[in-house]
Amino acid sequence: MAEIRLDRVTKTFGANKALDDLSLSIADGEFFVLLGPTGAGKTTTLRLIAGLEAPTDGSVWIGGQDVGDWSAAERDVALVFQYYSLYPRYTVYQNLAFPLKSPVRNYSPSDIDERVRKAANTLRIDHLLDRKTDKLSGGEMQRVSIGRAIVREPTAFLMDEPLSNLDAKLRESLRAELKDLQMKLGATFLFVTHDQVEAMTMGDRIGVLNNGRVVQVGTPHDIYNRPRDVFVAGFVGSPAMNLLDGELSGGHLAAMAGRLQLPYDGASTNTGPVTVGIRSEDIRVGPDESTDAIVHDVENHGVEKIVTLRVDDTLFRATVPAKIGVDIDSNVKFSWNADKLHCFDRNSGVNLDHAGAPG
Amino acid sequence: MAEIKLQDIEKYFGDNYVIRKLNLTIENKEFVVLLGPSGCGKTTTLRAIAGLEEIDSGDILIDGKPVQDLRAGDRDIAFVFQLFALYPHLTAYDNIAFPLRATRESKASVDEKVRAVARALQIEDLLSRRPSALSGGDMQRVAIGRALVRRPKAMLMDEPIGALDAKLREEMRTELKRLHLENDQTTVYVTHDQVEAMSLADRIAIMNEGVLQQVGTPSEVYDNPANLFVAQFVGSPVMNITPANLQSADGATKVAVGQDGVAFDFPSAIEPQLSGAHSDLMLGVRPEGVLLAHNKTAGHVAVEAHIIEPLGAYDIVDLKIGNAFLRARTASGFVDRPGDMVWARIDPAQTHFFNSLSGDAIHVRLDE
């Protein structure tokens, strides 16, 4: 069992508060992704769980036990880093066998051989076992580092941006492989990344971190469709959600200096300035739509086009099918899918649909 | 006015070719992106145009005149690097004005030019700041301003937004495109990021191992890749590529994919056109060309959904086809959970065939 729980953890480095009263609970066998920008506290969280840092306040629990007094080795978690840190003069086999040869572990040579071959088979690197690691490609090296974590059969895997150094194509295939691996092993995975695509595609649940605090925890679907605040709304999704100034009054929403008028049936008691959020795929462009705009930019993404529209000085993006012809600086008509609209309090940034509910 | 013409350019280090027989014409006012993985020769090509790198053979012509013997400073070309390379002790204003120092222009004329550029880049209120007080995006705007202020014939950019975070890169892409529209400068832009190339370019030139693979508009390159390399380098998620076998029985044509051959229906018109490839046939189809249905449907094959990757606006579903995988793009939430059975079809109109030995595309017409 490897349920991981952080209970009201604070971590300060000098005057700098890296984590601020952070509580988080990761279920046994879950693929949990910590997502956030640089400096959000993701890596610090990971290092606290691994036992490489001690919390200033609060406690860390693994498998129902407070591990505050446990050393990193006693915690039985495996770490995989962005940088491979393999032994360059050793073969892949020797690198995989290395963690098993520690005197505290006591594995027989045949046991070691069996575990190494099983890990190599799982990661499809059997054919590389005799190769020196400096003769490997980036993707192969990262597979070996993951293999080195697997051989010990730890209760949990902690991964710190393991895919960021790889090229786009390789990242894509390793994403699916890692997800597949986690499903096969049934182990608890805590995966740290700043890349929202990785978080969305791999996570059973995502914890969004900003400035040392958890902003929202939820399934990819929740995070994408019900962002708790402006930060999550703008951070998750590509292209980024359009965020515009608006005014709310009596169940009615006005944006773009009144050019855009929409019904709003959310928390209709609210009035006043809001930030309106709408994703590019929830904006329709076509001759029969309601509002005029000028095409500011067209990006061809192959399967679809991302069109930047301009109304007065306001810019926002819409997704249209690739086959539709749109020319820069031409006039078009658009309308918004009012059901997919988000309203955020202009000051606090909190989604009005979430107001009052804890994140 | 600046048309840039590269004729039979070659460059080698010892026995290693960096650029091999490169022919490319960049039209006046055109935005061309050189796209390829690291080490493909794209930056060397750009530096050769700028005069920062010598070539071993061939000609570089700007507006019809060979420029190999001209020094970098005399080619009237501006260069923007990935790393901002600003003078840290000068303000943004002085950084932008710097290239005009040697021109002996009057102060008023320099001031006018600096402010015009700053207005275009929306950094007018930052002009008195030093680079250390600027964000990454603003530093790169200043660097671009410095390149633009001389009104050079052409702009060369080497991964200018590669060091910025994802959201800022999205914004800067639009800005760069608008800037190009307003200034009409011939632009050559180097990147390894296919999204940037697709979004910005009038035409994309894709390079690999020093060899030009294909030149075309974003649509041409995406819809009609010339070979396996281009097919897999452009587009995200990557195009599915799998060994394929032609089968015909009872007058119906099928293409079997993967090792143990799950067969999909295809129009019989493809058969004579593919007969030359025999066992060396590869099939390529982008995830949007793999079509799914919930229920048994004519012409569809039952397959298992293995992994579902939700991307918010849509899902990518990994389908298990024998021992191979095909990725399909579906509406968000279309397949409920991993392990579900769905019915799949490959859209012949979106299918590409390649010769696996040469890697070249085999162009197939579906109508007879």
The CATH number linked to A132 is 3.40.50.300
Q: Which residues of A touch B165 (CB under 8 A)?
A: 37-38, 194
Is the pLDDT score of A358 beyond 70?
no
- Do A155 and A71 sit in the same domain of this protein? yes
Domain B240-362: homologous superfamily in CATH:
Nucleic acid-binding proteins (2.40.50.140)
Q: Is B44 exposed, middle or buried (0-12, 13-18, 19+ CB in 10 A)?
A: buried
Least confident of A316-325, B1-10, B118-127, B158-167: B158-167
CA B41, CA B56: separation in Å to the nearest integer? 14
Is B312 part of the contact surface with chain A (CB cutoff 8 Å)? yes
Tokens of residue A38, six digits: 């640089």
Q: Express each pLDDT in B263-281 by its tens digit.
A: 999 999 998 888 877 778 9
Is the pLDDT score of A170 beyond 90?
no
- Segment A241-247 shows an average pLDDT of 95
Contacts of B214 (CB under 8 A, 6+ apart): B204, B205, B206, B221, B225, B226, B227, B230
- Do A142 and A47 sit in the same domain of this protein? yes
Cα B76 to Cα B26, B46, B158, B179, distances in angstroms: 16, 14, 17, 19
Least confident of A164-168, B75-79, B139-143, B171-175: A164-168
Q: Express each pLDDT in B206-235 by its tens digit.
A: 999 999 999 999 999 999 999 999 999 999
Is the pLDDT score of A359 beyond 50?
no
- Do A321 and A213 sit in the same domain of this protein? no
Q: What confidence score (pLDDT) does residue A133 get?
A: 87
Is B335 part of the contact surface with chain A (CB cutoff 8 Å)? no
- Do A18 and A158 sit in the same domain of this protein? yes
CA A174, CA A130: separation in Å to the nearest integer? 22
Q: Is residue A359 part of a domain?
A: no
CA B178, CA B176: separation in Å to the nearest integer? 5
DSSP state of A340: G
Domain coordinates of chain B in residue numbers? 4-226, 240-362
Give the best-scoring range by mean pLDDT among A269-273, B252-256, B341-345: B341-345
Is the pLDDT score of B297 beyond 60?
yes
CA distance A300 to chain B (A): 5
**Percent of chain A clearing pLDDT 70 (strictly above):** 97
Q: How many Cβ pairs closer than 8 A exist between chain A and B? A: 96
Is the pLDDT score of B149 beyond 60?
yes
Question: Given an 8 Å threshold on Cβ–Cβ distance, is A306 in contact with B238?
Answer: no
Q: What confidence score (pLDDT) does residue A269 get?
A: 67
Asked casually if ipTM beats, i.e. exceeds, 0.95, the reply is no
Q: What confidence score (pLDDT) does residue A11 get?
A: 96
Q: For residues B192 and B276, which has the higher predicted lDDT (pLDDT)?
A: B192
Q: For residues A94 and A271, which has the higher predicted lDDT (pLDDT)?
A: A94
Residue B368 banded pLDDT, cuts 50, 70, 90: low
| Partner-chain residue, chosen from B37, B238, B311, that has the shortest CB–CB distance to A197 | B311
CA A92, CA B9: separation in Å to the nearest integer? 41
Q: Which of A233, A249, A267 is at the close of a domain? A: A233
- Do A255 and A111 sit in the same domain of this protein? no
Is the pLDDT score of A357 beyond 50?
no
Q: Is residue A261 part of a domain?
A: yes
Count how many domains chain A has: 2
Q: Express each pLDDT in A298-342 by its tens digit.
A: 999 999 999 999 999 899 999 999 988 899 999 999 999 988 999
Q: Is residue A247 part of a domain?
A: yes
Q: ω before A239 within 30° of 0 (cis)?
A: yes
Q: What confidence score (pLDDT) does residue A268 get?
A: 54
Tokens of residue A21, six digits: 């009263």
- Do A275 and A191 sit in the same domain of this protein? no
Q: What confidence score (pLDDT) does residue A259 get?
A: 85
Reduced to 3 states, what is the DSSP secondary structure of residue A318?
A: strand
CA B258, CA B285: separation in Å to the nearest integer? 13
Give the best-scoring range by mean pLDDT among A345-359, B13-27, B251-265: B13-27
Is the pLDDT score of B183 beyond 90?
no
**Percent of chain B clearing pLDDT 70 (strictly above):** 99
Question: Given an 8 Å threshold on Cβ–Cβ distance, is B233 in contact with A220?
Answer: no
Range of the domain at A9: 4-233
For residues B147 and B80, the answer to whether their CB atoms sit within 8 Å is yes
Residue B137 banded pLDDT, cuts 50, 70, 90: confident
CA A241, CA A225: separation in Å to the nearest integer? 11
Q: Which of A215, A233, A251 is at the close of a domain? A: A233
CA B115, CA A296: separation in Å to the nearest integer? 23
Q: What confidence score (pLDDT) does residue A20 get?
A: 95
Of B278, B300, B283, B303, residue with least CA distance to B350: B283
In this structure, the strands spanning A31-35 and A188-193 are parallel
Q: Where are the beta strands (DSSP E) in A92-181?
A: 156-160
Is B195 part of the contact surface with chain A (CB cutoff 8 Å)? yes
**DSSP track, A62-87:** ETTEE-TT--TGGG-EEEE-SS----
For residues B46 and B188, the answer to whether their CB atoms sit within 8 Å is yes
- Over chain A, what is the mean pLDDT? 90
CATH number of B4-226: 3.40.50.300
DSSP state of A137: -
- Do A89 and A189 sit in the same domain of this protein? yes
- Segment A242-264 shows an average pLDDT of 87
Q: Which residue of A has its CA nearest to B239?
A: A169
Residue A96 banded pLDDT, cuts 50, 70, 90: very high
Q: Tell me how far the alpha carbon of residue B183 is from its chain's centroid.
A: 22
For residues A189 and A32, the answer to whether their CB atoms sit within 8 Å is yes
CA distance B361 to chain A (A): 18
Question: Given an 8 Å threshold on Cβ–Cβ distance, is A200 in contact with B309?
Answer: yes
Q: Is residue A356 part of a domain?
A: no
Tokens of residue B337, six digits: 């959970």
**Most B CBs within 10 Å: which of A31, A165, A177, A179, as the mutation test of the B interface?**
A179
Indicate the angle between helix axes B136-148 and B107-120, nearest 10 degrees: 130
Tokens of residue B7, six digits: 């004729």
Q: Is residue A350 part of a domain?
A: no
**Percent of chain B clearing pLDDT 90 (strictly above):** 66
Of A93, A125, A132, residue with least CA distance to A109: A93
The CATH number linked to A246 is 2.40.50.140
- Residues, chain A, total? 359
Question: Given an 8 Å threshold on Cβ–Cβ distance, is A237 in contact with B222?
Answer: no
Residue A249 banded pLDDT, cuts 50, 70, 90: confident
Q: What confidence score (pLDDT) does residue B219 get?
A: 95
Cα A172 to Cα A126, A175, B214, B325, B339, distances in angstroms: 22, 5, 24, 14, 21
CA B240, CA B231: separation in Å to the nearest integer? 9
For residues A47 and A75, the answer to whether their CB atoms sit within 8 Å is no
**Most B CBs within 10 Å: which of A169, A281, A304, as the mutation test of the B interface?**
A169
Contacts of B218 (CB under 8 A, 6+ apart): A300, A302, B197, B198, B199, B201, B204
- Segment A163-170 shows an average pLDDT of 82
CA distance A222 to chain B (A): 10
- Do A174 and A250 sit in the same domain of this protein? no
- Do A338 and A189 sit in the same domain of this protein? no
Q: What confidence score (pLDDT) does residue B186 get?
A: 96
- Do A96 and A228 sit in the same domain of this protein? yes
**DSSP track, A263-316:** E--SSTT--EEEEEEE-GGGEEESTT-SEEEEEEEEEE-SSEEEEEEEETTEEE
Q: What confidence score (pLDDT) does residue A213 get?
A: 96
Q: Which of A190, A212, A233 is at the close of a domain? A: A233
- Do A84 and A142 sit in the same domain of this protein? yes
Q: Is residue A327 part of a domain?
A: yes
Q: Is residue A8 part of a domain?
A: yes
Q: Is residue A98 part of a domain?
A: yes
Is the pLDDT score of B142 beyond 60?
yes
Is B161 part of the contact surface with chain A (CB cutoff 8 Å)? no
Is the pLDDT score of B237 beyond 50?
yes
- Do A193 and A329 sit in the same domain of this protein? no
Cα B158 to Cα A99, B34, B81, B204, B352, distances in angstroms: 43, 9, 5, 15, 32
